Structure 1
Amino acid sequence: MVGTEETEKRYLLKAEVLDFPYSKRTRWLATRMGYEISAMSDQENGLPEFQKWPELKLPDLLFSDTVRQVHATIEKEWDPLQRSACQTAAGRALWKHVIHDPLADLLAGETYLTSLHEKIKRDCTNDAREISGVILAVRTLWIDSKLEAALHSFNAADTQVVLLGAGMDARAYRLSFLKESHVFEVDLPEVLQMKNTLLQAAMEATNYHQHLTMKAKSLSRVVADIRCNDWLEKLQISGFVPEKNTVWVLEGVLYYLSHSQAMQVLKIIADKCKLTQTVLLADFMNKASTTLSNSIFHFYSDWPDHLLPSLGFSHVKLSQIGDPDAHFGLMPDPLNLFNKLRSLPRSIQTHPDDGKPCCRLYLVQASGSPTKAIS
C-alpha cells in the first residue's frame, strides 16, 4: 500500500464490511501497489489475474553491518519459536498491498524475506489456489480489526494491550487506534534486545526514522518467559494494572508451548475476567496441524470455543481462515485449501477426498467481565 496514512488501511478493512465487490476492492489494491494487471477476468470470484508478484526489493538498511550482525545471530542462535517472529514479519512485509507495516522488512531480515518471496513466486507460476503467506496476512488483518473493535467497545480512554510473545510485532508504531492504549510487549530478553537494536538502527536511518513515531499512548517492553510462572508479576512491575480493561494478544505462540504451559497462560488471562473487561485474541491449531512438525508444535485444541468458556470466558467466537470475517478478499477461490476445510465438520480429522489430515488454524476471540461472569 502506498503511503503511510492509517486511513488507507482502515478503508481496506471497511471494504470488507461494506461488501465491496472483489473486483473493485482488488483492482483498488493492485493499482496502488503497481501490480501488472491483465484484463479483468470473468471468473466466478471476480478477481483479476496478476501476471506476477512484485519483485523483491530489499532496503539498503538490511545490508548495514549492525542489521546484518543481528540477523546472523538470529539465524545461528534462536530456536524455532523465536525465529517464527521473523517469519511473521516477512509475511507482513511481502503482503504490503493489504498490510501497512513499514518496519516489517527490517524486522524480518533478508533470509526470511527471500525465502517467502521465492515460495510466493513459485505459487504464482504454478497458479496455486492459495499463495504462501496468506495465512499470516489474514491473521494479521483479523487481529488488527478485532483489536480495534474491542478497544472501541470498552468505552474507556485508558486501556491496555498486552502482546504475549510479541516477537517482531510493530503494532505500537503502525496502528493509530492505539492512541489511548498502553501497550506491553512481553518476550524473552534476547528477542527484545535484538528488536531494540534493529529499531535503533532504523532511528539512525533517514528512510526509516519517519516510521518510528509512536502510535500507542505508551509502550513498555517486558522481559519475561510466558512458559514460566513469574511473567504476570514482571508485567505488573512494568506498569500493567490488572483492574484496567485489557486486550490480550497471543499471535502465533500457543502451539509452540507444552499443554501445561499453554493452559497456565490461558487460565491467568481468563482469571482477569473477574476483575475487569477482558478480551483475548489468539490463534489455535487443531490436533492434525501439530503433525506438520511433531518436534515444534505441541499444544492444540480441536474445540477452543468449548475450552475457553470452561476457563472463565463468557463469550467466545471462533473463525476459520476464509470465513466472512477472516478472508479480507484474499482467498475467494472456493476450491482452495481453506474453503474446502470450512465445508467439512470440525469433527472430521481426515479429508474424504484425499485422506490427508484436516489441518486447521482457528482464530478465536474470547471475552469476559465481572458483570458477565459464568455462574
Structure 2
Amino acid sequence: MSHEVTNNDLHDDDTEWQELKLPNLLLQSEAVRQVHATIEREWNFLQRSACQTAAGRALWKHVIHDPLAYLLAGESYLRSLHEKMKKDRLNNAREISGVILAVRTLWFDSRLEDALNSPNGRESQVVLLGAGMDTRAYRLNCLQDSDVFEVDFPGVLQVKATILEAAKESTNEFEHVRSMAKSLTRVAADIRENDWLEKLRTAGFLPHKNTIWVLEGLLYYLTHSQAMQVLRILANKCCVTHTVLLADFMNKPSTTLSNSAFQFYSDWPDQLLPSIGFTHVKLSQIGDPDAHFGLLNDPLNLFNKLRKLPRSIETHPDDGTPCCRLYLVEASGSPKQDVAPNVPTSVP
C-alpha cells in the first residue's frame, strides 16, 4: 500500500486556503443534526475523542480517503480543526494540526493490510477495540475476506449506526455506503469491564481463528491495571492461535498533555509486550521511515527532533520541554513459536 504524497499534493491549496465545505447531509438531515446535538450535550471527553479523530481523517483528505468521516465528526469538530489547520498554514508551522492523527491512521491502515496479506493473515478476524467512528470496514478493500468486529460503548455504536443509516438512505454522494468487509458486527461492551470478551464471543468471534487486534488511540485512556488486563488477554491468545496486535503507546511525558484524560503509558512497549507473551515486536515513532508518509519532511519538525534523542531522555536538552512520544507498535505471536525471554535490550 503506497500513501506517499508529493509536495504538490500537500500544498495544492496553500495559495488560497479553501473554505470548509460541509456535506449537505450533515446540514440538512434532522436525524444527523439531532445525533450531534446529543453528542455535544451528553458525551464525555473519551466519547468525544471519536469525533475529533473523525474530523482529522476528514480534513486530511489529501492522504486519507474517508468521506464518511465528515458525517461522523460533526460540524463543530470539523470547524474547530479547520481553524487550527488554517492558522498553522498561514503561520508556516512545521507541523500542521492533525498531522499526528493522519500519520497514525495511515500507519494502522498499512500495517493492517500487510498483516492480512501475510501467510498467516489471510481471512483473519479483525477486532477494533474502542472502534469509535472508525470506518475501515467501509473503506479498506483488504478486509473483503475478513469478519470485522467493532467494540465500543453502546451509545457510541448507536450514534454511529444512526448516522450511517442516514447516509445509506440519502440521495446524494453517500447513497452507496456499504461495508467492504466479509461481515461487520458491532459489539456493545466496555473493555474496562470483565465481560467484554464474552460479549465478543457471543457476537460470533471465534477464539481459535487467526485474529488481528486493532487498538488505535485507546490504551492511554485506560488506567494501568485496565490497559495491562487487556494486553494480557490478547497476549494469551498467542498460545491459541496466530495473533497480531496493532497499537499505539504514549510515553510518560505524553500523559502530561492531558492530566485528566491520559493515564496508561509505556516508555518501552517493545520490552513490555515480549514480557507478557508476544514473540515479535516492531516499534516505530512518528517520523520513522514507515511512519511519516511524506507528511513530515521538515528536518526541524518536532518529531524529527525527538527521534534524534535517546528514548530514555524525558526532557529536551535544547528547550527543557517534555519529550512527548507516540509509539506505533506491531506485535505478534503464535502457538508454534516459543515465547521470547524477557531480557532487557539496549534501545537508542
Normalised to the residue count of structure 2, the TM-score between the two structures is 0.95
Shift of 1:313: 0.3
User: Does the alignment pair 1:67 with 2:36?
Assistant: no
CA contact (8 A) 1:102 1:211 kept: no
Letter in 1 for 2:7: T
Question: Of residues 309, 313, 322 in structure 1, which corresponds to 2:287?
Answer: 322
Looking at structure 2, the residues matched to 62 and 309 of structure 1 have their Cα atoms a distance apart, in angstroms, of 45
Cα deviations by residue, 1:235-266 (Å, 9 ceiling, x for unpaired): 00000001111110001011000100000000
Deviates more, 1:106-115 or 1:55-64: 55-64
**SS of the residue aligned with 2:212?**
strand
- Name the CA shift for 1:364/1:173 in 2 (closer, same or farther; >3 Å): same
1:54 corresponding residue in structure 2: 18
Shift of 1:287: 0.4
- Name the CA shift for 1:213/1:358 in 2 (closer, same or farther; >3 Å): same
Question: Of residues 192, 195, 198 in structure 1, which corresponds to 2:157?
Answer: 192
Letter in 1 for 2:66: D
Shift of 1:217: 0.4
User: Does the alignment pair 1:340 with 2:340?
Assistant: no
Looking at structure 2, the residues matched to 244 and 52 of structure 1 have their Cα atoms a distance apart, in angstroms, of 51
CA contact (8 A) 1:273 1:373 kept: no
**SS of the residue aligned with 2:56?**
helix
Shift of 1:55: 1.9
Looking at structure 2, the residues matched to 52 and 165 of structure 1 have their Cα atoms a distance apart, in angstroms, of 37
CA contact (8 A) 1:154 1:277 kept: no
1:231 corresponding residue in structure 2: 196
Question: Of residues 60, 66, 85 in structure 2, which corresponds to 1:101?
Answer: 66
Looking at structure 2, the residues matched to 182 and 68 of structure 1 have their Cα atoms a distance apart, in angstroms, of 31
CA contact (8 A) 2:120 2:210 kept: no
Shift of 1:52: 4.2
- Name the CA shift for 1:351/1:62 in 2 (closer, same or farther; >3 Å): same
- 1:252-267 equivalences under 5 Å are 252-267=217-232
Shift of 1:208: 4.0
Letter in 2 for 1:316: V
Looking at structure 2, the residues matched to 272 and 284 of structure 1 have their Cα atoms a distance apart, in angstroms, of 20
Looking at structure 1, the residues matched to 44 and 119 of structure 2 have their Cα atoms a distance apart, in angstroms, of 37
Shift of 1:155: 4.6
- 1:253-332 equivalences under 5 Å are 253-332=218-297
**SS of the residue aligned with 1:345?**
coil
1:123 corresponding residue in structure 2: 88
Deviates more, 1:59-68 or 1:328-337: 59-68
User: Does the alignment pair 1:113 with 2:56?
Assistant: no
CA contact (8 A) 2:167 2:175 kept: no
User: Does the alignment pair 1:214 with 2:195?
Assistant: no
**SS of the residue aligned with 2:137?**
helix
Looking at structure 2, the residues matched to 211 and 174 of structure 1 have their Cα atoms a distance apart, in angstroms, of 12
Structure 1 residue ranges, 4+ long, deviating more than 4 angstroms after superposition: none
CA contact (8 A) 1:74 1:83 kept: yes
User: Does the alignment pair 1:163 with 2:144?
Assistant: no
- Name the CA shift for 1:301/1:30 in 2 (closer, same or farther; >3 Å): closer
Query: Which structure 2 residue ranges, 5 or more long, are not aligned?
Result: 341-348
Structure richer in helix, relative to its length: 1
Shift of 1:53: 4.0
Letter in 2 for 1:26: N
CA contact (8 A) 1:225 1:231 kept: yes
**SS of the residue aligned with 1:207?**
coil
Shift of 1:75: 1.2
Shift of 1:373: 3.0
Query: Which structure 1 residue ranges, 5 or more long, are not aligned?
Result: 1-9, 17-21, 37-49
Shift of 1:154: 3.6
Question: Of residues 172, 175, 178 in structure 1, which corresponds to 2:140?
Answer: 175
Shift of 1:209: 3.6
**SS of the residue aligned with 2:134?**
coil
Deviates more, 1:149-158 or 1:341-350: 149-158
2:345 corresponding residue in structure 1: none
Cα deviations by residue, 1:223-245 (Å, 9 ceiling, x for unpaired): 10000011000000000001111
Looking at structure 1, the residues matched to 129 and 252 of structure 2 have their Cα atoms a distance apart, in angstroms, of 22
Looking at structure 2, the residues matched to 118 and 295 of structure 1 have their Cα atoms a distance apart, in angstroms, of 25
Cα deviations by residue, 1:142-192 (Å, 9 ceiling, x for unpaired): 000000000111456431000000000000000011000000000010000
Looking at structure 2, the residues matched to 208 and 263 of structure 1 have their Cα atoms a distance apart, in angstroms, of 42
CA contact (8 A) 2:244 2:333 kept: yes
Identity within the alignment, %: 72
Looking at structure 2, the residues matched to 129 and 84 of structure 1 have their Cα atoms a distance apart, in angstroms, of 24
**SS of the residue aligned with 2:329?**
strand
CA contact (8 A) 2:168 2:174 kept: yes
Looking at structure 2, the residues matched to 200 and 208 of structure 1 have their Cα atoms a distance apart, in angstroms, of 14
Looking at structure 2, the residues matched to 156 and 338 of structure 1 have their Cα atoms a distance apart, in angstroms, of 31
Question: Of residues 104, 113, 129 in structure 2, which corresponds to 1:148?
Answer: 113
Cα deviations by residue, 1:40-86 (Å, 9 ceiling, x for unpaired): xxxxxxxxxx3244321011111221111111111111111111100
Looking at structure 1, the residues matched to 78 and 70 of structure 2 have their Cα atoms a distance apart, in angstroms, of 7
Looking at structure 1, the residues matched to 32 and 59 of structure 2 have their Cα atoms a distance apart, in angstroms, of 19
- Name the CA shift for 1:330/1:156 in 2 (closer, same or farther; >3 Å): closer
